[in-house]
Homo-oligomer: A and B are copies of this chain.
Amino acid sequence: MKFRRSERLIDMTNYLLEHPRQLVSLTFFSERYLSAKSSISEDLGIIKDTFEHQGIGTLKTFPGAAGGVYYIPKVKEEDAERILDDICLQMANPDRLLPGGYLYMTDLLGHPNMVQKVGKLLASAFASKEIDVIMTVATKGIPIAYATAAQLNVPVVIVRPDSRVTEGSTVSINYVSGSSKRIQTMVLSKRSLPEGANVLIVDDFMKAGGTINGMISLLQEFNATLSGIGVLVESEHAEDRLVDEYVSLVKLKNVDVKQKQIEVVRGNYFSRREVVTNENSEL
Q: Which residues of A contact B (CB under 8 A)?
A: 5-7, 9-11, 13-14, 17-18, 46-47, 49-51, 53-54, 56, 98-100, 102-107, 110-113, 115-116, 138-140, 142-143, 146-147, 149-150, 153-158, 160, 165-168, 189, 191-192
Q: Inside 8 A of A147's CB, which chain B residues have their CB?
A: 146
- Of B46, B143, B150, B157, the residue contacting A156 (CB under 8 A) is B143
A142 to B13 Cα, complex, angstroms: 28
A215 to B106 Cα, complex, angstroms: 18
Q: Inside 8 A of A98's CB, which chain B residues have their CB?
A: 165-166, 168
Could you tell me if B13 and A155 are in contact, using CB atoms closer than 8 angstroms? no
A147 to B19 Cα, complex, angstroms: 16
Q: Assuming A116-B150, A139-B138, is B110 touching A47 (CB within 8 A)?
A: no
Could you tell me if B149 and A112 are in contact, using CB atoms closer than 8 angstroms? yes
A14 (CB) vs chain B CBs: closest residue: B56
Could you tell me if A10 and B50 are in contact, using CB atoms closer than 8 angstroms? yes
Could you tell me if A155 and B112 are in contact, using CB atoms closer than 8 angstroms? yes
Q: Inside 8 A of A9's CB, which chain B residues have their CB?
A: 6, 9-10, 13
A150 (CB) vs chain B CBs: closest residue: B112
Could you tell me if A157 and B54 are in contact, using CB atoms closer than 8 angstroms? no
Q: Inside 8 A of A192's CB, which chain B residues have their CB?
A: 106-107, 110
A149 to B146 Cα, complex, angstroms: 13
Name the 9 nearest CB pairs between A and B, nearest first.
Answer: A112-B150, A110-B155, A10-B50, A13-B13, A112-B149, A7-B50, A138-B139, A142-B142, A10-B13
Q: Inside 8 A of A46's CB, which chain B residues have their CB?
A: 6-7, 10
Q: Assuming A7-B46, A143-B156, A149-B112, is B166 touching A104 (CB within 8 A)?
A: yes
Could you tell me if B167 and A106 are in contact, using CB atoms closer than 8 angstroms? yes
Q: Inside 8 A of A149's CB, which chain B residues have their CB?
A: 112
Could you name 11 residue pairs across A and B whose Cβ atoms are closer than 8 Å? Answer: A6-B50, A7-B50, A10-B47, A10-B51, A11-B54, A14-B54, A98-B166, A100-B165, A110-B156, A112-B149, A139-B142
